[in-house]
Amino acid sequence: MPNIIKAQSEEQFNDIGAGIIASLLQSNPKALLGLATGSSPVGVYGRLVELYKEGSVSFAQAQSYNLDEYVGLPVDHPESYRTFMNEKLFNHVDILAENTHVPLGASPDPAQAAAGYTELLRQAGRIDLQILGVGLNGHIGFNEPGDELQGFTHVVTLDESTRKANARFFSSIEEVPKQAITMGIASILQAKQILLLVRGGEKAEIIARAMQGPVTTKVPASLLQTHPNVIVLADQEAGRLI
């Protein structure tokens, strides 16, 4: 059973999440970090920036590998995940640009880009700490519910529910990409430790199903039950059913 932590406030949520990441970097400055985008980690990244500015943590020797990226968005597009990571974390800490890795969604051959990312992860070795969020349908990364799930980095067609959930970041749903490159479930589960960040009452039902229901590819996040070292950090609303 994953270790479930319920934060009493947004400040505590961010402090706990950032503290877990900072503690790893303090004990292992060369840590391999698996990073996620979305609304749940934003405050955690903000707190990490504060810790860096206070001199409490350094990313100088660390490497990062992001979970996913939209297919077809230029790297500098305001809604690309590369832009997100630059604006929320990378530009504000001492991580080396060449040590930050995000799938190349703008590649003219996304399938080849996905295969290249799989090889990059293989060469890197096991991620020390993988940060995750969860979608309303239970997806982790962009591994959408289905009869079977792919193990390694691949191109995925996004569920309509996922595109609708992400439409708030774009001018209209028509602008939301229909595909993404995502790490696969096997890559995620190979991490030594996983930190699942869950915020908001709309996530309460799916996180309860994922953590307490059957392990099924219909709820990809439920596969985290098979991992020996998972921390679920939830706010009060998201954690009210677990």
Give me the pLDDT at residue 169, please: 86
* Token code pair at residue 84: 């997100």
Residues 180 and 202: their CA atoms lie apart, in Å, by 23
| CATH class in words for 3-134+145-198+223-234 | alpha beta
- The answer for residues whose C-beta is within 8 angstroms of residue 36's C-beta and 6 or more apart is 66, 67, 131, 132, 133, 141, 197
Alpha carbon distance 95, 63 (integer Å): 8
The confidence score (pLDDT) of residue 171 equals 85
Q: What is the pLDDT of residue 168?
A: 86
Pairing relationship of beta strands 32-35 and 193-198 according to DSSP bridges: unpaired
pLDDT for position 174: 87
pLDDT recorded at residue 236: 95
- Which pLDDT does position 162 carry in this prediction? 85
CA–CA distance, 19 with 50 (Å, rounded to integer) = 11
Q: Where are the domains of the chain?
A: 3-134+145-198+223-234
Rounded alpha-carbon distances, angstroms, from residue 220 to 12, 105, 159: 27, 22, 13
Please tell me whether residue 46 adopts helix, strand or coil conformation: helix
Which two structure tokens, joined as six digits, stand for 104? 């190349």
Provide the residue-wise pLDDT of the chain in tens; the chain has 242 residues.
789 999 999 999 999 999 999 999 999 999 999 999 998 999 999 999 999 999 999 999 999 999 999 999 999 999 999 999 999 999 999 999 999 999 999 999 999 999 999 999 999 999 999 999 999 999 999 898 988 888 999 999 988 888 888 888 888 888 889 999 999 999 999 999 999 999 999 999 999 999 999 999 999 999 999 999 999 999 999 999 99
Catalytic residue annotation: 68, 137, 139, 144
At residue 167, the pLDDT reads: 87
d(CA 56, CA 54): 6
Note the pLDDT of residue 190. Answer: 96
Rounded CA-CA distance 51/54 in Å is 5
